[in-house]
Amino acid sequence: MGEACLGTNYYGVKLVTEELIPLLQLPDCQNSKKELSDTDSHAEEKVEVVLKRYLDDLKEDLLETKGWPVALNAYTRVLAKKYPNIAINAVAPDFVNIDLTYH
């Protein structure tokens, strides 16, 4: 159940975002290329490591005791750094009664 929940709430958003980002990018310029080349290339991998820990804690019924944050906000911060010329925001709609928030 946890894998399906992450598939919808994180990986689904990530896949759609990766397809739409090229459509949102501004025309090429040297400053943008320089900024993008300085981006931490392992930031997305770090989010993936955190999600693996989430799934492990889910299997051990430790989500509430470990106070899990929403991974999508972390991914949003990665995108904001990676694409500085696009206004990218993270919005928390408050807790929603879904498996991802252990409700």
pLDDT digits (tens, 9 = 90+) for 7-31: 877 888 888 888 777 766 645 434 4
Q: Please report, for the chain, the start and end positions of each structural domain, with discontinuous segments joined by +.
A: 2-24+41-101
Per-residue pLDDT at 78: 85
Cβ neighbors of 86 (< 8 A, separation 6 or more) are: 21, 24, 25, 26
Backbone angles phi, psi at 77, to 5 degrees: -65, -40
Residue 93 has pLDDT above 80, yes or no: no
pLDDT digits (tens, 9 = 90+) for 31-59: 444 444 444 655 777 767 777 887 888 88
Per the structure block, which two tokens stand in for 36?
């993008």
Per-residue pLDDT at 68: 59
Per-residue pLDDT at 100: 59
- pTM exceeds 0.75 for this model: no
d(Cα 80, Cα 13) in Å, to the nearest integer?
A: 15
Task: Average the pLDDT over 64-80 and give the result.
Answer: 71
Cβ neighbors of 71 (< 8 A, separation 6 or more) are: 6, 10, 47, 50, 51, 54
